[in-house]
Chains A and B, each alone.
Chain A
Amino acid sequence: MSPAEGAHRPGHDARTEGVRRGAAFAVTVDGKEVTGHEGETVLGVLWAAGIRTLHVTARTRQPRGFFCGMGVCFDCLVNVDGRHGVRACMELARPGMVIRRQQDAGSFPPRGGGSHA
Chain B
Amino acid sequence: MIGQAMEWLTGDKRSTYGVAVTRMILGFIVASQLIVNWPDRHYTWGDGASWTEQVRNSKSWPSFLDLFKRLDGHMFDLAYVVTIIFGLLLMVGLYTRASAVMTLFLWLSLYVSNPFVGSGGDAVLRMVLLYICFTDAGRQWSLDARLQARRGGVKPLMPDWFSATLHNLAVILIIHQVVMVYVGSAFWKLQSTVWRDGTAVYFPLQTDAYSPWNDWLHPVYASAPIIAGATYMAVVVQLFFPVLLIYRPTRMIALALITGMHLGIGIFMGILYFSLVMIAVDMILVSDRSWVRGLEWLQKQRKNRIRA
A binds B: no
B-binding residues in A (CB < 8 A): none
